[in-house]
Amino acid sequence: MLFIIEIAINLSPRRADNGYMERCSTKFDGSNDSIIALHKGSTFDSNATDHKGCIDFEIELDGKPLNFTLSYGDRQAKLSDLVPAARQLCTEIINAATQNESDHGRQVTCGKGCASCCSYLVSLSSAEAFRIKDEIFAMPVQKRQSFMRSMINGAKYILDHTMPEKLPGEKNDRISEENSTDDISAWYGNLNLTCPFLTNKSCDIYDIRPLVCREHLVTTEAPACKYTAPSIPRVVEMPVSIASVLMQTSDKLDNTLQEAIILPLAMLWAEENIERSKRTWPGETITRAFVETILETISLENREAANSLPIIEPPQSSGQPLLEHAENNY
């Protein structure tokens, strides 16, 4: 997995005027949400929609089957068009997992005002980065600019505190394939960087929050979730991580190495890869790739996190520095 820790900070020059803001704010209107839709159980009625086909699949949780159908339309679809269905599927799995915990006498302790995990490393797939960028740009100007400022400040802090050439206890001279996800998480945790969307211990984008945030539920008390806590929280086990599935699906379709984009860098990364965000596939192709990845992931006996985490080096190119450009526009 490639963690996007350093980003290319060069962008072809653009006029720093309101025209750019208007173009961004009107780019996304949610009109393609129904290209791919999730249906729970046998609720899909092919005669009641304009979708051309569907794929059934099953996820097992503690011996109990969860049946779903993904339907797809006739139009071309972008990676970001997968995100609404992925969010809905994630919610269904979480609800089932939460109920399963309750059935075993355990209660999920996460709730509003509990924000210990909001300084954790949060990574997005390219599909989610594109989607969240579009959704934020579709927000009212004042809210959009506030979020952008927070993300720019977070991005600047990360880029000013990049990972050291050598981590304590590591023999390698460069953060590379030998480093594990824990190394990256430890570095990020030491930054003490709060999520750019957190206000008064409450998520400002709760309805569109990242999949990894949705999937992270615990049955222990909040103090155990603090990065500096001596104890380890008990995390609710999911039958499959939809966040991971979406990353792998994006990788397959876009023919790239699996990318994990750090949340505060997501907007800048998405802006740099705007042409990739426009690429389309037949709805069936995207839907089938997503379902196949779910089934492949479930079938694996050992689903440990990959240990290959090289840093993507910023390419050398001319142009206006992206952070400077962003600061001038937001």
Share of the chain above pLDDT 90, in %: 42
The H-or-E segment that residue 244 falls in is helix 242-254
93-97, 211-215, 294-298, 302-306: which range is least confident on average? 302-306
Instruction: Judge whether 63 lies within some domain.
Output: no
Query: Measured between alpha carbons, how far is 127 from 108 in angstroms, rounded to an integer?
Result: 29
pLDDT at 251: 93
Q: Determine, yes or no, domain membership for 49.
A: no
Q: How confident is the model at residue 187 (pLDDT cuts 50, 70, 90)?
A: confident
Label residue 180 by pLDDT band (50, 70, 90): low
Mean pLDDT of 95-120: 88
Range of the domain at 147: 2-31+79-329
Q: How many domains does the chain have?
A: 1
Per-residue model confidence (pLDDT) at position 27: 43
Domain assignment present for residue 62? The answer is: no
Query: Which of residues 33 and 74 earns the better pLDDT score?
Result: 74
Q: What is the mean pLDDT of residues 235-260?
A: 91
Contacts of 207 (CB under 8 A, 6+ apart): none
Question: Which of 77-86, 190-199, 234-243: highest mean pLDDT?
Answer: 77-86
- For β-strands 10-11 and 76-77, DSSP reports them as unpaired
Give every CB contact of residue 88 below 8 A, 6+ residues apart in sequence.
38
Is 300 buried (19+), middle (13-18) or exposed (0-12) by CB count in 10 A?
Answer: exposed
* In-domain check, residue 295: yes
Q: Is residue 319 part of a domain?
A: yes
Percent of the chain topping pLDDT 70: 71
With 60 as the cut, is the pLDDT of residue 286 above it? yes
H or E element: which one contains 72? strand 64-72
Mean pLDDT of 240-254: 95
Instruction: Using CB atoms within 10 Å of the CB of residue 210, give its burial: 0 to 12 exposed, 13 to 18 middle, 19+ buried.
Output: buried
Residue 89 lies in a domain: yes
Give the residue-averaged pLDDT of 65-92. Answer: 95
Mean pLDDT, range 292-318, rounded to an integer? 57
pLDDT at 330 over 70: no
Residue 208 lies in a domain: yes
On average, the pLDDT of the chain sits at 78
* In-domain check, residue 53: no
Residue type, 299: S
Average pLDDT (168-192) is 59
Which pLDDT band, with edges at 50, 70 and 90, does 178 fall under? Answer: very low
Least confident range of 2-11, 232-241, 291-300: 2-11
Long-range Cβ pairs for the range 48-52 (8 Å, 24+)? 50/74, 52/283, 52/284
